[in-house]
Amino acid sequence: MKNFKHLIVLTLIMSLLASLISCGAKTKTADSASGSGSVTEATQQANVESSTDIANAEPVINYPRVDGSTANMPMMAMIRSHYTGESLTEAENNTEVTTTDYSWRNLLDGKCDLLLVYEPSSETKKIIEESNVKLKVTPIGVDALVFLMNEKNPINNFTTKELQDIYSGKITNWKDLGGEDKKIEAYQRVLNSGSQTLFLNLLMKDVEPVDAPTKYRIQGMDGLVEEIASYNDEANALGYSVFYYAKKMYAVPGLKLASVDGIEPNDETIGKGEYPFLNEYYLVIREDEPADSETMKLYNYILSEAGRKDIIEAGYIPVQK
């Protein structure tokens, strides 16, 4: 997975560039400038227009332009390697993403052909619904929203209610959970990121989260993971990510994953549907994709038994048949 740490840095730079471009839109609210609140229509449109077109590398046998979520990059590389005959290292070097929300918008705009991706944000869902583009969305695997702490923290388990109370501002000190007398530094992801969407949909639901200060709202998943693992060499930070990314793709020393409602997140509890915060990820193409296109051939391969084996070999948990 070492190559992906370099790719993650490139992905973060691409995302930051897109954000900087969107900040130049004529209409911008104080909320969007500070990283909180809703995005104005003009800024939202700038985000769509500035989404980076991917797959600038030379195509292999007219390989389709694949985009998606950062946490799906190892799967993309494994599929590409087996499908094209490239070595896994070559496939990793040829794998790029623009991250979850941008990739959904790229598919709408014809800037990519196929997605391996997590659920879009509510804003992007609205854009999809209002567009004239019909998408074919197929669940192919399952992942989980997991909560991350420094390994020095004595707390190992939360109830769902405790997590909601932390992120709504009702619980602010670890001593209220049986830990040390320290303020809980509760990190969040930026709005419209894939893990932020899962956080709002799976954990918070109808509970309004506290508006995190900018310094606690992290742009990239790698930044959040490293921040939690090393926060001032103390144990008072809390954050979240998706299981595959935090456990397998970007695991770092000093980090532990908390149990929720007494259930530890692992391959078995996620695969059996026992862990409480589960979410599918998807294979997506446009409905009007020609039946004889290279994109449709790749789509059918991913849904075949060979594609399922690729998903498993890359360390992911496929949907149950």
Is residue 54 located within the same domain as residue 161? no
Is residue 135 located within the same domain as residue 238? no
Q: How many helices (H) and strands (E) does the chain have?
A: 14, 12
| Alpha-carbon separation of residue 33 from 22, 106, 138, 196, 211 (angstroms) | 10, 24, 35, 18, 14
103 with 113: CB under 8 angstroms? no
| d(C-alpha 297, C-alpha 290), whole Å | 10
The number of domains in the chain is 2
Is residue 14 located within the same domain as residue 110? yes
116, pLDDT greater than 80? yes
| d(C-alpha 320, C-alpha 297), whole Å | 23
Is residue 147 located within the same domain as residue 120? no
Mean pLDDT score across all residues of the chain: 83
Residue 205: domain span: 143-271
Structure tokens at 257: 């994953």
Q: pLDDT band for 230, please (50, 70, 90 cuts).
A: low
Q: Which residues contact 238 (CB under 8 A, 6 or more apart)?
A: 147, 148, 149, 166, 184, 185, 186, 187, 228
| d(C-alpha 239, C-alpha 307), whole Å | 33
Looking at residues 306-310, what average pLDDT do you find? Answer: 98
Amino acid at 2: K
Amino acid at 298: L
Is residue 242 located within the same domain as residue 120? no
**pLDDT, tens only, 50-109:** 344 444 445 456 999 999 999 999 999 999 999 999 999 999 999 999 999 999 999 999
- pLDDT reported for residue 135: 98
**pLDDT, tens only, 136-190:** 999 999 999 999 998 889 999 999 999 999 999 999 999 999 999 999 999 999 8
30 class by beta-carbon count within 10 Å (0-12 exposed, 13-18 middle, 19+ buried): exposed
| d(C-alpha 195, C-alpha 99), whole Å | 11
Is residue 114 located within the same domain as residue 15? yes
Q: What is the signed CA dihedral for 71, 186, 39, 9, rounded to 10 degrees? A: -40
Is residue 175 located within the same domain as residue 74? no
- pLDDT reported for residue 23: 32
Is residue 191 located within the same domain as residue 228? yes
Is residue 38 located within the same domain as residue 84? yes
| d(C-alpha 63, C-alpha 55), whole Å | 9
Is the overall model pTM greater than 0.85, yes or no? no
Q: Which of 232, 251, 271 is the last residue of a domain?
A: 271
**pLDDT, tens only, 30-49:** 222 222 232 233 333 333 33
136 with 286: CB under 8 angstroms? yes
137 class by beta-carbon count within 10 Å (0-12 exposed, 13-18 middle, 19+ buried): middle
- Supply the CATH number for residue 29's domain: 3.40.190.10
34 with 84: CB under 8 angstroms? no
**pLDDT, tens only, 281-300:** 999 999 999 999 999 999 99
Written as one string, the DSSP assignment of 102-130 is HHHHHHHTTS-SEEEE-PPPHHHHHHHHH
Helix (H, G, I), strand (E, B) or coil at 259: strand
Give the other-Cβ count within 10 Å of 171's Cβ. 19
290 with 105: CB under 8 angstroms? no
Is residue 217 located within the same domain as residue 293? no
Q: What is the DSSP letter of 258?
A: P
- pLDDT reported for residue 24: 34
Is residue 185 located within the same domain as residue 130? no
Written as one string, the DSSP assignment of 235-279 is S-EEEEEEHIIIIIIS--TTEEEPEETTB--SHHHHHTT-SS-EE
Is residue 126 located within the same domain as residue 193? no
196, pLDDT greater than 70? yes
- pLDDT reported for residue 177: 97
